[in-house]
Structure 1
Amino acid sequence: MSAARKLTCLDCGQVNRVPADRLDAGPKCGTCGAALMPGKPIEVDPKILDKAARTDDVPLVADFWAPWCGPCRMMAPEFSKAAGALKGRARLVKLNTQDFPQAGASHGIRGIPTMVGWAGGRERARQSGAMRAPEIEAWIGRLG
């Protein structure tokens, strides 16, 4: 059995431990039953994002976006494709800066879309501007 990885449930905020070799087998939260590695971007609030960024052992990437942003809307399907391709290796989430403007400010977001990647409880990289799925996947692969 491989070492367990900590994953914060993106629905209820509960921290779960999942064997590393089972990350791509559809693990579910022990508290609420939500998928822990859904293979698609999940909308999160700032509290869940901050907890997952501090706690998770699997790379976490947040897309800071807003519904009125043209480049954000263009990148959304590409971000979804990347999430599917990276299922079991990374989790991709979205945070709406229109609904949570204080979150964008607290994370130093100056323009959208901006992706911020965390690994091992620390911010590892950030990238502003729309990207295509292969570029997003390559960028996330460098997070560590």
Structure 2
Amino acid sequence: MSDPLHIVCPHCHITNRVASDQLASAPDCGSCHQPLITGAPVALDAASFAKHVGRSQVPVVVDFWAPWCGPCRSRAPAFEQAAKALAPGVQLAKLDTEAHPQAAAPYNIRSIPTMVVFRNGQELGRISGAMGAADIQRWVQSVV
């Protein structure tokens, strides 16, 4: 058995311990019994953002966006495609900076859309601008 990883549930936001070699076998949350790996971006608020970014040992790519932002809306389908392609090794998430500015403020997000990769609470990289799914995947893989 491989070393356990902390993974935050995309549904109830409880931290779970999962053996790294079990990620591909669709583990469920020990609390809510929903799938831990969904292959879909997780919508975050201020509290769940702190949990996912601070506790997850799987890289978390956060898309900082706003509903009024045209490039943000145009990138959304590509971000969803990339989430499917990068699972189970990377979790993609979205944070609406308009609804949750207090969560984005410490990261000095100056333009949107901006993607930031986090692991164990540490920022590994960031990039701004609209991108296609293949470009998102390549960039994330180059950072993690």
TM-score with structure 2 setting the length: 0.93
Letter in 2 for 1:48: S
Matched-pair contact (CA < 8 Å) for 2:49–2:103: no
- Percent identity of equivalent pairs: 44
For this pair of structures, how many residues does the alignment match?
Answer: 144
1:89 aligns with 2:112: no
5 Å matches for 1:1-144?
1-144=1-144
Distance (Å, rounded) in 2 between the aligned partners of 1:102 and 1:5: 28
Q: Name the one with the larger helix percent.
A: 2
- Structure 2: tracts of 5 or more residues without a match: none
Show structure 1 runs of 5+ residues with no match.
none
Q: CA deviation at 1:117?
A: 0.4
The answer to whether the 8 Å contact 1:118/1:143 transfers is: no
Quote the RMSD (CA, aligned, Å).
1.3
Q: List, as ranges, runs of 4+ consecutive aligned residues in structure 1 with deviation greater than 2 Å.
A: 10-13
- TM normalised by structure 1 equals 0.93
